[in-house]
Homo-oligomer: A and B are copies of this chain.
Amino acid sequence: MIIDRDSPIPQYFQLQTWLHEQIEQGVFKPGDRIPTEEELGQVVGLARATIRQAIQNLVNMGYLVRKRRLGTFVLEKVAAPSTQTIIGLLIPDIRRGYAPVLARGVQDEAAKNNHSLILCDTDDLYIKADFHADRMIENSVSGVIFVPTAVSDGQNQSIIDKFQRNKIPVVLVDRSLPTVDIDCVTSDNIKGAYDLTEYLIKRGHKRIGITLSTLINTERDRLEGYKKALRDHGIPIDEKLILTHSGPFNEGRYLKFVRTLLKAESKVTAVFAGHDSIALLFYSQAGKMGISIPDDISVVGYDDLDLPLISLTTIHQPIYEMGQESLKLIMTRIRGEVNSTQKIVLETYLVERSSVKSLNTSN
């Protein structure tokens, strides 16, 4: 008999122990249904409430699940999922560009999933990214959302490796690493830049300057989209109108480029600023040089930052949504729901404002 009614050990506990043994010994295997409370009551000769007490304890201990109308089942013994519910976000600088919006998107989605967000700024420096990565691992984050630093792919790779060695899933946002097979959420910079350039071309612009950084692949993609649009419309690419720089964003450097393009000798009728912050430099320089936008020169940007006082035609990047998507993606990884690498590319769209003048007489 399973239950010894004379034992000082409570009967519910005797039953609980017996059930536990059956599970541990594989008599009841994961997925199996154990007898109903009614049946157990008959077999061991105990009241249903007593049976329930034994079963409830095993449910609390994670050995069983009850399902209404179906019965009680043995659970797959899973390693207790870490009680930590923290996601790490590694971005260049919370004060710059779209970072606050991205952080907010991640955070709102994290809140929906009952996770908190640890925020770390890398300043695009490997050493800071590495430092924060260590701290995140120490604080046992469940996953990391990483905007790769504007340094070598190898260094970014080594940050990612560090997380993966600790079995922490990583999702890249905005900037991807072509050589690394890893989940990422980006937008289609080639298409966005293509659309934007085509927009200028259709308004009669032929000499279109561009200035951006070749350090980050998002901006390299924009350059590619720009060139492709020119080629497709039979406009020769003039390398003198392409002013690039391979380092991180530096205001003084770009101010030089901006001045060069604004000078009458350049004869450009429109400029493509690699991102909205550069477009802003065009506005401030043009003001100083007595040049009017868009009357004297047209300017387009990229990002659609919330810029007061100017009305810039630009490409809207769904930054907030990228934050949300990257968090959703990391949650599926944490829950172990997917295996194959996910590459999510979000749509961008052109926002027409009034920084571009149409040169078409018919228009």
Residues of A within 8 A of B (CB): 49, 60, 84-86, 93-95, 99-101, 103-104, 107-108, 111, 114, 116-121, 131-132, 135-136, 138-139, 280, 283-284, 287, 307-310
Chain B, residue nearest A84 (CB): B139
Known: A107-B94, A309-B310. A135 touches B120 (CB 8 A): no
- Between-chain CB contacts (< 8 Å), 6 pairs: A111-B132, A116-B135, A116-B136, A117-B118, A117-B120, A309-B310
Chain B, residue nearest A141 (CB): B116
Chain B, residue nearest A83 (CB): B138
A135 touches B118 (CB 8 A): no
Contact residue among B95, B99, B139, B309 (Cβ-Cβ distance under 8 Å from A309) = B309
In the bound complex, residues from chain B placing their C-beta under 8 Å from that of A280 are 308-309
- Nearest chain B CB to A47's CB is how many angstroms away? 12
In the bound complex, residues from chain B placing their C-beta under 8 Å from that of A107 are 94, 119-121
In the bound complex, residues from chain B placing their C-beta under 8 Å from that of A309 are 280, 283-284, 287, 309-310
Cα–Cα, bound, A307→B280 (Å)? 11
B111 touches A101 (CB 8 A): no
Q: Which of A60, A95, A111, A136 has the most CB of B within 10 A?
A: A95
Known: A111-B131, A117-B119, A310-B309. A138 touches B85 (CB 8 A): yes
- Nearest chain B CB to A312's CB is how many angstroms away? 11
In the bound complex, residues from chain B placing their C-beta under 8 Å from that of A118 are 86, 116-119
Cα–Cα, bound, A310→B309 (Å)? 9
In the bound complex, residues from chain B placing their C-beta under 8 Å from that of A99 are 100
A94 touches B86 (CB 8 A): no
Known: A308-B284, A309-B309, A309-B310. A94 touches B85 (CB 8 A): no
Cα–Cα, bound, A94→B280 (Å)? 22
- Nearest chain B CB to A163's CB is how many angstroms away? 15
Q: Which of A84, A107, A119 has the most CB of B within 10 A?
A: A119
A94 touches B84 (CB 8 A): no
Contact residue among B94, B284, B308 (Cβ-Cβ distance under 8 Å from A100) = B94
Cα–Cα, bound, A101→B307 (Å)? 18
- Nearest chain B CB to A134's CB is how many angstroms away? 10
Known: A100-B99, A104-B93. A135 touches B114 (CB 8 A): yes
